[in-house]
Amino acid sequence: MGYTTPYIIKALSDNQQDVDRERPLLIAKTREAHQVANTVESQRDWFLAQPTGADPRFYEPEYQPMLYAFDDFSEEYSSAPKVIEALTALGLESFMTLSKSSAINHSSVIAPSHLPIDLAWNDALDYEAFFDEYWPLLNPNGGLMIFHNTVNGCPKCAMFVKQLKLKQVSQFSDFELLSFFEPYKLHQNSYTVIRKITAFKEHFLDWDQKSITESALRLIDKH
């Protein structure tokens, strides 16, 4: 937890506001399309109307995003203690659940309604243990795990990434991996993003008109 936490939470809140604004528009344009003959033109009009190109399957579930922060407040210089103050000032405190502990052995804090995890970010310690505990909880359809201070960091952290690469070439590969540099910094100047793709299918193989139509109809039925 620290300086970037309120920015991430603001992004969650903005995203939720976008969905709340766009869902009624999607329902309205779907209702309209449902009342006219199903033709190539009416499908195009539905697609182009606001929110353009929105996939009903994304808008169908009611979803309350939540950031789970694990911080034991062990680092004196950390801005973690100020985060709650900042979130309260912004009225965004309901988007965060704080556990004053290590993330290791505490994944049970995460409510079943918030699983699977879409993004797990480790900016502290214990990368291997974190990976072992949280990888099974990560969304198999593109969930992201990010580790700070990796390839350009301490030898142990760099070795962690090397081990992952070794796993990628020597075992069944269910992830993609990319490391980035932060060249303007003397410390914590790289991070590695791992994307879980166990259940990911290329979209062009999955452009399933039947499931899109069924989802759109469920949306207008429900509202």
Ligand X SMILES: C[S@@+](CC[C@H](N)C(=O)[O-])C[C@H]1O[C@@H](n2cnc3c(N)ncnc32)[C@H](O)[C@@H]1O
> Distance (Å, rounded) from C-alpha 73 to C-alpha 77?
10
Contacts of 125 by beta carbon, 8 Å cutoff, 6+ apart: 102
Could you tell me how many residues of this chain bind ligand X (CB under 6 A)? 17
3-state secondary structure 45-90: HHHHCCCCCCCHHHHCCCCCCCEEEECCCCCCCCCHHHHHHHHHHH
Told to check if 9 binds ligand X by CB under 6 A, we report no
> Min. distance of Cβ 142 from ligand X in angstroms?
22
Task: Give CA separation, 149 vs 18, 94, 119, 135, 161, in Å.
Answer: 33, 29, 17, 19, 11
Chain positions 164 to 193 lying near ligand X, rule: CB under 6 A, are: none
> Min. distance of Cβ 32 from ligand X in angstroms?
45
- Choices 86-94, 109-117, 123-131, 205-213; region in contact with ligand X by CB under 6 A: 123-131
Told to check if 95 binds ligand X by CB under 6 A, we report no
> Site for ligand X (CB under 6 A): which residue of 9, 27, 96, 124?
124
> Site for ligand X (CB under 6 A): which residue of 36, 48, 111, 125?
125
**Closer to ligand X at the Cβ: 79 or 198?**
79
> Site for ligand X (CB under 6 A): which residue of 17, 28, 57, 72?
72
Told to check if 74 binds ligand X by CB under 6 A, we report yes
In what side-by-side order are the strands of the sheet with 190-196?
119-122, 144-148, 190-196, 175-181
Most distant CA pair in the chain: distance in Å? 66
Count other C-beta atoms under 10 Å from residue 10's C-beta: 14
> Site for ligand X (CB under 6 A): which residue of 11, 73, 165, 217?
73
> Min. distance of Cβ 201 from ligand X in angstroms?
32
> Min. distance of Cβ 183 from ligand X in angstroms?
18
In the complex, the residues that contact ligand X under the rule CB under 6 A are 1-5, 70-75, 78, 80, 102, 123-125
